[in-house]
Amino acid sequence: MTLLAKRVNKKGRYAAPMSRTTKPLVADDVEIVRRVLAHVDGGTTDEGTPWREPVENYLNPHRFTQEWNLLRAMPSAFVPSAAIPNKGDHVERVTFGVPLFAVRGHDQRARVFRNACRHRGFALVEDAGCSHALVCRYHGWTYRLDGSLAHVPHAHGFPDLDMSARGLIEVPSYEADGLIVIGAIDSDGARSSNADADEAMAWLTDGTTWRDKLLPIDRVVSVESFRLAINWKVLIEQFLEGYHIRWTHKETLPNLYDNLTVVETFGPNSRVTFPYDAIERLRDRPESTWVGRPPLTFVYHLFPNVIIGAFPQLVQVVVIDPIDVADSEVVYYTMTRADVGPGMELDGEEPLDPAELLPYIFRVVAEDNEVSAGVQRGFRAGANKFVEFGRHESAIGHFHASLGDRLAQFAATQAHAPL
């Protein structure tokens, strides 16, 4: 029985989350603090089902191709809304091998387009910025913010050009609760089940679990991108357990409990809560004061490839984009809110400045990526046939079970699809 057994119907498809309207998908801040303090007192942590993942699944190019085809045929979170807050703001990113960009229109709607001019295919958006219109710097073809073609220099040279039919190619997208989510970017994705696609989109656009953490965000502090020689699944795994805290981050995270987490799942997604030892100061305070920014880090995994790290002072959206079986591109959107800055105090701690926190945060990031690179190298030693994930690493097992189930469903759909 997989970790998703209670969420999958008799046909093996994800059951609709009927509890969304009657029961919260994750615990509120007060309940999380209660659970953490109980773990502190008992010397325990949340536990689930252990998982063994074959090493071959990280190394086999054929398996990677299966994953790649699935990812291109299903919805995914593209960028945080805070990346394009104003009219004309635009940002580009390569997603599963496809250059895309998002732009906020004059109507305040966020749209996502394939990043190619309809004349010669030049990448229209080359960096983040703000424009009244989108102008190709190769030949000057100009597009409105809604993607329609507005101007062609020397248009008489294109006598058969239908400008109304040569707008930018839009990718289906949906903005909700601080995220811009895209639909399938591969045309082959049309052959997959509409029910599966709708269900996958629903789990990414029902932001009730992360809304209070992400919606207050209104300022991007930095955007950093790295190409890493690490399989994309290894990078997901590094966010989903606290078992490594003492050994990997013994100097950078001394105030974070070792191997003490609260693990919650909703659909293929999960949330792992990491408490700081300052949480014990809350014991003698009214529970009403526990709400807001308790000394916790909430890490959300939005299946398949996006992580939201909600820190007391900052939020980081991390997009892990597979390149090939052994390489990934990782983009870190580090953001904050207007009321966080010099002079703001958190539970009696020193005043915080988000900009000054960045070097520290990326030191922690570098430590995680260093050990993930070591895991990638160790796969080729031939010592292990499988990776052993313990009961306290159950969020990782949930991820692999979700991926395995989706791969099986996608393969079955493709096998019965008309050619």
CATH of the domain at 96: 2.102.10.10
Which of the two residues, 138 and 343, has the higher pLDDT score?
138
380 & 278 share domain: yes
The number of distinct structural domains making up the chain is 2
Output the pLDDT for position 343.
40
Could you report the per-residue pLDDT of 2-29, keeping only the tens digit for each? 333 333 333 333 333 434 446 789 999 9
For 143-149, what is the mean pLDDT? 98
In a domain, 131, yes or no: yes
62 & 82 share domain: no
258 & 137 share domain: no
In a domain, 203, yes or no: no
Residue 69's CB is within 10 A of a number of other CB atoms, namely 19
Range of the domain at 60: 29-69+208-411
327 & 381 share domain: yes
40 & 144 share domain: no
Output the pLDDT for position 349.
52
In a domain, 13, yes or no: no
In a domain, 269, yes or no: yes
For residue 1, pLDDT beyond 80: no
Q: Which residues contact 200 (CB under 8 A, 6 or more apart)?
A: 14, 74, 75, 268, 303
For 124-129, what is the mean pLDDT? 96
Answer with the one of 147, 167, 182 that is the final residue of a domain.
Answer: 182
> What residues does 130 pair with on adjacent strands?
89
Output the pLDDT for position 7.
33
**Cα(88)–Cα(110) distance, integer angstroms:** 10
Output the pLDDT for position 193.
60
pTM: 0.90
255 & 352 share domain: yes
Maximum Cα interatomic distance, the chain, rounded to a whole number of Å:
78
In a domain, 101, yes or no: yes
For 386-399, what is the mean pLDDT? 98
Q: What angle do CA 276, 281, 286 make, to 5 degrees?
A: 120
Mean pLDDT over all residues of the chain? 89
Output the pLDDT for position 345.
43
129 & 277 share domain: no
113 & 238 share domain: no
Answer with the one of 114, 148, 182 that is the final residue of a domain.
Answer: 182
CATH number, position 254: 3.90.380.10
- Name which of 117-121, 199-203, 239-243 the model is least confident about: 199-203
Which of the two residues, 194 and 333, has the higher pLDDT score?
333
94 & 56 share domain: no
Pick from 133, 141, 200, 137: which is nearest to 172 by CA?
A: 200
- Report percent pLDDT > 70 for the chain: 88
In a domain, 106, yes or no: yes
**Cα(235)–Cα(21) distance, integer angstroms:** 33
Could you report the per-residue pLDDT of 333-361, keeping only the tens digit for each? 999 976 665 443 444 455 457 777 889 99
370 & 299 share domain: yes
Output the pLDDT for position 20.
47
Output the pLDDT for position 384.
97
Look at phi and psi of residue 86 and say left if phi exceeds 0, alpha if psi is from -120 to 50, else beta.
beta
**Cα(279)–Cα(29) distance, integer angstroms:** 12
- Report percent pLDDT > 90 for the chain: 80
In a domain, 17, yes or no: no
142 & 283 share domain: no
Q: Which residues contact 81 (CB under 8 A, 6 or more apart)?
A: 110, 175, 178, 179, 180
Output the pLDDT for position 80.
97
Could you report the per-residue pLDDT of 79-90, keeping only the tens digit for each? 999 999 999 999
- Whole-number Cα distances in Å, 90 to 83, 128, 129, 181: 8, 6, 6, 15
**Cα(371)–Cα(373) distance, integer angstroms:** 5
- Name which of 245-249, 286-290, 403-407 the model is least confident about: 286-290
228 & 349 share domain: yes
Output the pLDDT for position 186.
85
Answer with the one of 120, 147, 182 that is the final residue of a domain.
Answer: 182
In a domain, 105, yes or no: yes
